[in-house]
Amino acid sequence: MKITVMTMTLTSKRQTVFPMEWCHREGLANGGPLNVFDLGKDGLLIRPIKSPGHEAIRKLLKQTPVGKHSPRQAAAIVNQALRQVRDESGSH
């Protein structure tokens, strides 16, 4: 793995611009959500949140328990399926 060192600037409004090459490589050229992990004195770890693929979502939703569900229960089932897909794909 090649490690590239870059300098970025953080404005007084806590804004920054990420390197375009990284944004393209991670599929974030038009922006998108990121997870940021505070590693204390070791810095921050920034990873894009990758959407699960359609096939993975379809597969997990087929496992949904049959029967009537309240809107809250349905939302919980969908959220659990999405968490499983993200965990399986290594995206957090």
The three-class DSSP label of residue 44 is: strand
Separation of alpha carbons 31 and 91, rounded Å: 17
Q: What is the pLDDT of residues 20-73, one digit of tens each?
A: 988 998 889 999 889 899 999 988 889 898 777 788 777 777 776 667 778 888
Q: What is the pLDDT of residues 7-19, one digit of tens each?
A: 889 999 999 999 9
Going from N- to C-terminal start, the domains of the chain cover: 1-49, 54-89
- First and final CA of the chain: distance in angstroms? 21
Separation of alpha carbons 38 and 50, rounded Å: 19
- Which CATH number applies to 1-49? 2.10.260
As to burial, measured by CB atoms within 10 angstroms (0-12 exposed, 13-18 middle, 19+ buried), residue 85 is buried
Q: The pTM is what?
A: 0.52
